[in-house]
Structure 1
Amino acid sequence: MATAAAAAAASIVLLPTRRASPASMMKLSRRLNCSYSTSRKQLILYSKPGCCLCDGLKEKLQSAFSLSSADSYSLHDVDLQVRDITTNPQWEKAYQYEIPVLARLRSDGTEEVIPRFSPRAGVDHIQSKLAAALSRDN
């Protein structure tokens, strides 16, 4: 089935939910970044457990990945890393009032925050906005 193959192509990485030290999070982040293929685009979703807006966006992102066609700009080569802000004091301080925050990882390792999607935005709208954001160089 085409949608099953598409869903398998886009990967989601869930970071640990236990409170981790910043040093251990950096080690994990480095390990994750080293394992990624350089041709894959990377998105980061800052979230926390129990956030209904975060859960809604995760569902829409998964649908956008699985419904992406190979003909248009493909979201098949995208890795989505979900970061629980409660596991890192820096993330929690930066995003506690802003979640969900979606960012793309640039080739130089910096993050660019993607403008927030309306909770009412449809999957098609999210697909087109993500495609535009990911097609930009750096």
Structure 2
Amino acid sequence: MATAWRTPAFPISVACNRASSMKWRSLRIPIKVSFSSLSSSSSTNGDGEPQMKQLVLYTKQGCCLCEGLKEKLDVAFSLSGTHSLHNVRLLTRDIATNSDWEKLYRYEIPVLARVLPDGTEETLPRLSPRLGVEIIQKKIASIFKD
């Protein structure tokens, strides 16, 4: 799969509701991404197979919270059942590799964001490190319900 990343050449706008940590924060970053096996806006690709949805984990090396969440996400993605995440792709991005990501998430990591059909990202509420794998799987599955 070919992935092309481009850093936006303009300021990134962040809309954040600080009133409650459980509110959704919208982060719209236009990023040019091309995946040869994904279609643009429908829920199926050209072959009639379900389109892969994308979840991004912003992290950095040496972050114990990031490592703990990544381990739980790996297990959650491997589980089957009603809340299976078989049609969701997890992308991990190291904030140290992009100065814009580092400015945005320096004090927030780990950060989860879902990639919307138009290529922008929506930052998700922080998951408690105490949550079990099944609950994490259920929460992520509910985010991607159509």
TM-score (norm 1): 0.72
Task: Name structure 2 gaps, 5 residues minimum.
Answer: 8-30, 40-50
Q: Which structure features the higher share of helix residues?
A: 1
Find the counterpart in structure 1 of residue 71 from structure 2.
59
Q: C-alpha displacement at 1:36, in angstroms? A: 4.4
In structure 1, C-alpha distance between the alignment counterparts of 2:109 and 2:67, rounded to whole Å: 11
Q: Highest relative contact order (Cα 8 Å, sep 6+), 1 or 2?
A: 1
Q: C-alpha displacement at 1:74, in angstroms? A: 2.6
In structure 2, C-alpha distance between the alignment counterparts of 1:124 and 1:47, rounded to whole Å: 22
Match of 1:111 among 121, 129, 139: 121
In structure 2, C-alpha distance between the alignment counterparts of 1:133 and 1:51, rounded to whole Å: 25
Find the counterpart in structure 1 of residue 6 from structure 2.
26
Which digits, 9 at most, give the CA deviation of each residue in 1:38-59, with x for residues without a partner?
3001010000000000000000
Task: Name structure 1 gaps, 5 residues minimum.
Answer: 1-14, 16-23
In structure 2, C-alpha distance between the alignment counterparts of 1:33 and 1:48, rounded to whole Å: 24
Give, as a single letter, the amino acid of the residue that structure 1 aligns with 2:86: H
Find the counterpart in structure 1 of residue 57 from structure 2.
45
Q: C-alpha displacement at 1:35, in angstroms? A: 3.1
Structure 1 residue ranges, 4+ long, deviating more than 3 angstroms after superposition = none
Which digits, 9 at most, give the CA deviation of each residue in 1:86-117, with x for residues without a partner?
00000000000000000000101111111111
Is the aligned partner of 1:90 residue 2:70?
no
In structure 1, C-alpha distance between the alignment counterparts of 2:104 and 2:128, rounded to whole Å: 20
Q: C-alpha displacement at 1:126, in angstroms? A: 0.3
Match of 1:81 among 84, 88, 91: 91
Find the counterpart in structure 1 of residue 26 from structure 2.
none
- Percent identity, aligned pairs only, is 55
- RMSD in angstroms over aligned alpha carbons? 2.1
TM-score (norm 2): 0.69
